[in-house]
Structure 1
Amino acid sequence: MIKLKYLPLVFALFLLACKKEQLLNPNQGKAVSLAIKGYVMADTLEFVLNNKVLGQAIDNKFTLNGTLFNAGDKIQIRKKTDSKTIGNIEVAASPFNQVKRIFYDGTTLSNNLELTPVSKPENMGFRLTFSTPFKGFYGGPVDVELFDQYINFDTFEFIYTPVKTFKNITGAFGDFIELPPAEQDHSYVFKVYKAGTKELPYTSMQNVNLSDPENNYGALDFSPGESKLLSISPNGNDGRTEIGDGYSVIDFSADFK
C-alpha cells in the first residue's frame, strides 16, 4: 500500500509520463490512445505528424514512438523511398483506446480494415484484393468468378458450375463476402477476368505461359467459421516478367485480429 506522503510524487511522475507522450503533438487537445496495425507488402511506410516521423511499418512490423495523440490529429502515411503521401489516418475523439488497421500492396492503401464475423459457424467470410507486379497486367480492376468444382472419379471429368461473380476487385480489400460450405466431394475454385469481360486481364499473351488459358483456375480453401482477408495474385517466376498456371491466394487476417 502506498503511503500518503508518497502520493504527490507518484502523481507527479504520472503527469510527466503523460506530458512526454503528448509531445507527439504539442497542440494540446483531447488525449486519445492510438495503435496502428496491419500488413505492408511492399516498400516501407512512415507515419508522420507535424512534419515529424513517428514510426514506420514493413511486413507486419509496426513501430510508433508513442501512443497518445490528440483528437483531430491527421497522421500522414507516406512511402519512405520517395516521401510520397499515400493516405492519412484521422484520430477520432472517441473511444479513448483506438486501433487503425491498414493494408498496402505497393500500389493501393486499404484504411481501417475490420474482420467481419460470419453469420453462421458453418460459413466462411472474406474480403478480396487482387494485385500483381506483372508488367503485362492491363492495370484496372478485375472480376473474380467463383465456381463449384466437382470431379467425377469414374470418368475423371471436372465439372464446373458458376456460383457468383465478384466485380471490380482492386488492390484495396472489397466488400465482405460470405459463403456456405460446398457440398460433399465439391470445392470452390475461381477464374480472374478483366473487369466487365471474360478476357484474361493482360495486354497481350506475351510471357503469359498458361497450359490451358480457358481452364486457368485458382483454388479457394474453405475454412468454416473464419473471416479472411484474401489477396489473389497470378503465379509466376518472380511475378514481374512471367505468368504461369493458377493463382496464389494469401490470407492476411492474422495481422488484423
Structure 2
Amino acid sequence: MLTARKVLWNASRLLEKVVVPRSTQVSCISTGPQQQHGTFYELRTYCIHPHLNAAFLRLTNEKIHLRTAHSELLGYWSVEYGGLNQVFHIWKYDSFSQRAGVRAALAQDPSWIEEYISKAMPMLSSQDNQVTYLVPWSKILRPPKEGGVYELVSFQMCPGGPAVWGAAFQAAVSAHAHTGYAWPVGVFHNEFGPLNQVHVLWWYEGADQRAAIRHKAHQDPRVVAAVRESVSYLASQHNKLMFPTPFSPLK
C-alpha cells in the first residue's frame, strides 16, 4: 500500500513539472475577439437552375437595392469555376440581434417580397449559409483596383480547432500574402456551418495572372515549407474562381 502511494505521489510531482507548449495554450485563430464585439459575416451560396441563371442575375441587379437598404453587403459574385450556376455573397452584421431584426423587417417589406423574393426563389435549386468571423490577424482589405477575379478557398481542417492548426494555417496564408503572390481580401473562420473550416478570399488581376503567380509561388521554398506544415492538418479543400457582379461593392 505504501509503495502504491509513493508511486502516485511521484507521478503527481512529475505532472507538476510538465510544461505545456505555448502553441497549445494560445489559440492563434480564436474567434474570441470577434465574438466579444459581435461583428460577423454571413457567407451565402445560391445554386440557380441553369436555364434561369441569366434571369436571376438580371433580376438581382435590378432589385438588390431593396435588400441592401436593410444591411451591409460586402460582395456579390458569380462563380465561374468550381461550381456552375452559383452565386456567392457576403453580408456583414454587427450582432445576431441585428441580423434577426433585418430578417424580421424583410419579412414585412412588401417591395422586397413582391418585387424580388416571389420571383427569385423559384429560380433557385438550393441555398446554403455559414456564419463566420474574421480571424484576429485578418481584416477586410479592398483590392488595389477594380476589376479582376476573386478566388474563394475553403479549407476543412482536422478536428481540434485553431489551438491545433491555427499557427500553421496563418503561416501558410502569410507566406502567400507577404511575398506578394496574392492579395488577401479576408480570412474567415466558421462559427455555424462545418466546424474547423476556414475560408480565404483572394484577389487577382485576372485568371491568367493567377495561374502564373501560383506557378511561381509553388517554386518558392518559403511558400513550400509553410504549406507543407499546414497541409498536415488539412482534411480537404475546395476553391472557386469568381467574378464580381456589377452591383457588388467589392469589384
Shorter-normalised TM range: under 0.3
Query: Greater helix percent: which structure?
Result: 2
Greater C-alpha radius of gyration:
1
TM norm structure 2? 0.26
Compare relative contact order (CA 8 Å, sep 6+) and give the higher one, 1 or 2: 2
TM norm structure 1? 0.25
Query: Greater strand percent: which structure?
Result: 1
